[in-house]
Amino acid sequence: MTQTMHSKLNNVHPFAHYAERILSGETLLPDTPENVIEVMGALDSYGIVLDFYSINLNHVADTQFLNLFPIFKYFDGEINPARMWRHFWHDRINYEYAEYTMKAMMWHGGGGLDAYLDTDEFRANCEAAIAAKIKYNPVLQVFHRVFPEFLIEQIRQLCYYSGLGQFWRVMSDIFTSLAARYRKGEIEHIAQIVEHVKDGLVADAARPITYSVNIGGKMYDILPASAGLTFLVDTAIPYVESIFFRGGPFLGTVSYNAQAQQISPDQSRFTYGALYADPLPIGGSGIPPTLLMQDMFRHMPDYMEEYYMQTVRQLGDVRVKICASFQRSMFCVTNAALVGLLPKGAGATEPDDIQANREFLMVWMDRLATSQLEAVQTNPLGSD
């Protein structure tokens, strides 16, 4: 019954035309030269930043296993005075944002990774690793006895460090190769960007997600290959769900006051994600993505800087502008993911298949209804 309800409503759905665009091979983001610069500039710097993030997340997962005082976790093992000074001077990548994203992903859950963390098999893996790790640490042994979930929860978090690190490794490579193609002049349209990202996602879809740590010279499998966790379904889709769509409420714009009830008790109804976010407050207090924008600003390609220099405030409001560009690029990534996930494939020609694809898309259009999709349809520098 719901099926027929849907198809009737399709005609009046305000976002139906976006679904039609995807079905006809067009893109969610209008194909304009400005959009190409913005999206490429954003993805170019994002690729570089993700490379740093991914390396660090994997570093933490691999070398800081149950280290309760990970003072040098952001140093990637490179502990020397110069690096320390740069760290002190905050002349560095804001790895805190990667952790923030990791926590959001873990908190929202979803996908095979989340489900595996609640299995007995996982618990057994953990117990083995914990036993090895705290063999000579009576304090932690007591803690583990009194608070049995404490260390296991920490390992769950480490799994997300590792999972997100592996996910971003792939994404970083996709964006970096895309940027290289753009510099060679191979990319001129939004559709090409979408295509490139989609191909990258599809190519690595079945890449296994595993995690094992070395304790005292012995490897302990935490997420064994036998768990069958894969890139697309177990990290990419949960990532899109928790970061692009749900996100977390920003203290700088939303009140946590329980009586004010500004935050939904149901996380699945959260719309604080990257596709919904308002770029304007970026740079202010209580807006964590500012950290990402700052990192991207520090790795901004020249052509992007030239492009921004045409605006009224030039680099004065660069973080807001990067955020707006980033949002546009994330609609391209979403677009690529949707195309890649079409149940009957992008090249479907049978009317029934197209209808199935349409129904699949309409569900997503519902969710995009309150996103910034309408806002990114305008010319980026239009109002300047």
Partner 1 sequence: MLSALLLIPLLGALFVSCWPSKLASRDAKRLSMIFLVVNLVVSLYLLIQFDLANVGMQFVESVPWLDELGLGYELGLDGLSLPLVIINSLLSLVAVYASDDDVRRPRLYYSLLLVITFAVAGAFVAQNLLLFFIFYELELIPLYLLIAIWGGAQRGYAATKFLIYTAISGILILASFLGLVWLSGAESFDYSSTMAYGLPWIQQAVLLAALLIGFGIKIPLFPLHTWLPDAHVQASTPISVLLAGVLLKLGTYGLFRFGVVTFSEVWVDLAPYLAWWAVASVLYGSLAAIAQTDMKKMVAYSSVGHMGYVLLAAASSNPLSFVGTVFQMVSHGFISALLFLVVGVVYKKTGTRDLKVLRGLLNPERGMPLIGSAMVLAVMASAGIPGMVGFISEFIVYRGSFVSFAPQTLLCLLGSGLTAVYFLLLVNRAFFGRLATSEDQAVEQDPVLPVVTLQDRLPALLLVGLLFVFGLSPSWMTRWIEPTTTAMYEAMPIKLELSSYSASEPLANASTDIATCSDGDCAL
Partner 2 sequence: MMQSLIELSWLIPIYGFIGVILSLPWSTGMVQRTGSRPAVYINIFMTAIAFLHGTVVFMGIWNVGAVQLEVPWLQVADLSLSFDLDLSVLNLGVMELSTGLSLLAQIYGLGYMEKEWALARFFSLLGFFEGAVNGVLLSGSFFLAYFLLETLTLSTYLIVGFWYAQPLVVKAARDAFLTKRVGDILLLMGVLGLASWAGDLHYNEMYEWVKTADIGPLASSLLGLALIAGPTGKCAQFPLHLWLDEAMEGPSPASILRNSVVVTCGAYVLIKLQPIVVISPLALTALIAIGTTTAIGASLVSIAQVDLKRTLSYSTSAYIGLVFVAVGAEWPGVALGLLLTHAVAKALMFMSTGAIINNTSCQDMTELGGIGSRMPATTIAFVVGGAGLVGVLPLGGFWALQLGVDFLHREHPLLSGVFLLVNALTVFNLVRIFRLVFLGDPTPKTRRSPEANWLMATPMIGLSIFVLVLPVAFVRMSLLPPLRYWNPWVFGALILSGLIGLGLGCTVTLSHSLLRSTQRPMRVLQDLLANDFYTEQLYRVTVVFLVSQFSRIVSWFDRYVVDGAVNLVGMASLMSGEGLKYSISGQSQGYILTIVVGVSLLGFLMTWAMW
Residue ranges that bind partner 1, judged by CB under 8 A: 253, 278, 280-284, 311-314, 316-320, 372, 375, 378, 382-384
Spatial CA neighbour of 293 closest among 320, 272, 331: 320
Counting every residue written for the chain, the total comes to 384
Given partner 2, partner 1, none, residue 298, with its beta carbon under 5 to 8 Å by kind, binds: partner 2
The DSSP annotation for 11-60 comes to TT-TTHHHHHHHHTT--SS---HHHHHHHHHHHHHHHHHHHHHHHHHHHH
Site for partner 2 in 219-248 (CB under 8 A): 248
Distance between CA atoms of 133 and 228, rounded to whole angstroms?
A: 26
> How many Cβ atoms sit within 10 Å of the Cβ of residue 339?
22
Smaller CB separation from partner 2, 50 or 155: 155
Minimal distance, residue 47 CB to partner 1, in Å: 24
User: Tokens representing 214?
Assistant: 């070395």
Number of residues that bind partner 2 (CB under 8 A): 57
Residue 198 in tokens: 């989609």
Closer residue to partner 2 (CB): 113 or 179 = 113
In this structure, what are the phi and psi dihedrals at residue 339, rounded to the nearest 5 degrees? -60, -45
Pick one of partner 1, partner 2, none as the site partner of residue 79 (Cβ within 5 to 8 A by kind): none
Q: Which amino acid is at 84?
A: M
- The binder of 107, among partner 1, partner 2, none, by C-beta within 5 to 8 A per type, is partner 2
Indicate which single residue of 79, 203, 225, 286 sits in contact with partner 2 (rule: CB under 8 A): 286
Binding test (CB under 8 A) with partner 2, winner from 79, 84, 206, 251 = 251
CA angle 41/254/295 to nearest 5° reads 25
Give the contacts of 111 (CB within 8 A, at least 6 positions apart).
233, 234, 235, 237, 238, 241
Site string for partner 2, 87-106 (x = CB under 8 A): -xxxxx-x-xx-xx--x--x
Residues that bind partner 2 (CB under 8 A): 68-71, 88-92, 94, 96-97, 99-100, 103, 106-107, 109, 143, 146-150, 153-154, 156-157, 248-249, 251-260, 262-263, 265-267, 281, 283-288, 290-291, 294, 298, 315
